[in-house]
Structure 1
Amino acid sequence: MKNTTVETAIGALVILIAAGFFALAYTTSGKGNTTGGYTLKAEFDNIAGVNTGTDVRLAGIKVGTVVGQTLNPENYQAVVTMSIDPKVKLTDDTTAKVTSEGLLGSNFIALDPGGSEVVLADGGQITNTQGAVDIWTLISTAMFDSGKGKGGSGGSGGGEGGRNKPAGNAPAQTAPEPVPETQPQ
């Protein structure tokens, strides 16, 4: 009988610890966001890497979370719904852009407040947005299009797209002969 009581107590302890881990995971994933913040929406042309639970940051500080995303069927823009900390008041000229923590870092939404006096209300919309930039497209464009310029970037110029022409029959340049030094008398 004594053995059964100990086993029951250990089992109950394990269940409580597991429930605590599930509660922690639920609240930190953004699914259980109960901050009581206000919601804002923003439309982007590309939100690659942004999901429910993605950070919303202002000056590098987390001030909110993405709580939803849908597609606007009229213009095929991605509509992101964000929950923002009620202490943070954003103006109607705030800019929202999808950016990353580095070359291989995760994406987040960066907010840049403007100078307007009009504060966005709960349910308001941020109209100044910039979608995610595909870094691999930028790299491939820089690599493969660098030789296609007309004397601009990508080489030494010369109107040949940055490629140097071979010298051909051009005369070789020779150094001038040294001039003898004269000493004052």
Structure 2
Amino acid sequence: MQRNLVETLVGAAVLAVALGFGWYAYSTTSIRGTRGAYELTARFDRADGLAIGTDVRVSGIKVGSVTAITLDPATFFANIRFALRSDVKLPDDTVAEIAAEGLLGGRYLNLNPGNADTILAAGQAVKYTKSSADFMQMIGKFLFSATEDKGKTGAAPAAGSTQP
């Protein structure tokens, strides 16, 4: 009887700690989503690194998250829908860009507010966008251009040949 009581108390303590940990994780992370949010959209020619749930930031502060990513079949542009906190009001000339947390880090949607007097309403589209830079493509272009330049200017004429 004594043993059953101890096992029950230990089990209850473990369950209480697990529930406390779950509540703490839920309240301190972005699992619960954006409360009182309104949605905006933006079109990008490429949406590399974005996924549903990706952070939306203004001045480095998370103010929302990406809620949908779709492909426009007519233009092949990526349509990004994102939810913002209701206290964040963006001017009409805001620029949305896909930014990287570091050279090899993850991506997020960065919003650079402009100075317009009109505010974007729920459901409107951000007009100005900048897509992500593809670092691997840039490195490849740099390496291939360096190889081409070396091939054009680095070759010496063969012995006995004449140049025009």
TM-score, structure 2 as length reference: 0.79
Q: Render the CA deviation track for 1:48-98: whole Å, top value 9, x for unaligned.
A: 211222221122222222233222333232222222122221112111111
1:47 alignment partner in structure 2: 47
Task: Give the distance between the partners of 2:71 and 2:23, measured in 1 at CA.
Answer: 30
- Report the structure, 1 or 2, having the larger helix content: 2
Q: 1:5 to 1:15 in 2, by over 3 A?
A: same
* Structure with greater Cα Rg: 1
1:128 and 1:62 map into 2 onto residues whose CA distance is 20
Kindly provide the CA deviation profile for residues 15-40 of structure 1, in whole angstroms up to 9, marking residues without a partner as x. 23323444454566644214222221
Greater relative contact order (Cα 8 A, min sep 6): structure 1 or 2? 2
Measured against aligned partners, the alpha-carbon deviations of 1:116-136 in whole angstroms (never above 9, x if no partner) come to 111011222112112222110
User: Is structure 2 residue 133 aligned with structure 1 residue 133?
Assistant: yes
Percent identity (aligned): 36
Give the match's secondary structure for 2:32. coil
Unaligned runs of 5+ residues in structure 1 are: 149-153, 170-185
In structure 2, the residue matched to 1:3 is 3
Cα 1:76–1:30 change in 2 (3 A) is farther
Which of structure 1's runs of 4+ aligned residues deviate more than 3 A? 19-31, 164-169
Distance 1:118 1:165 in 2: 61
Provide the TM-score with structure 1 as the length reference: 0.71
Amino acid at match of 1:99: A
Distance 2:115 2:142 in 1: 35
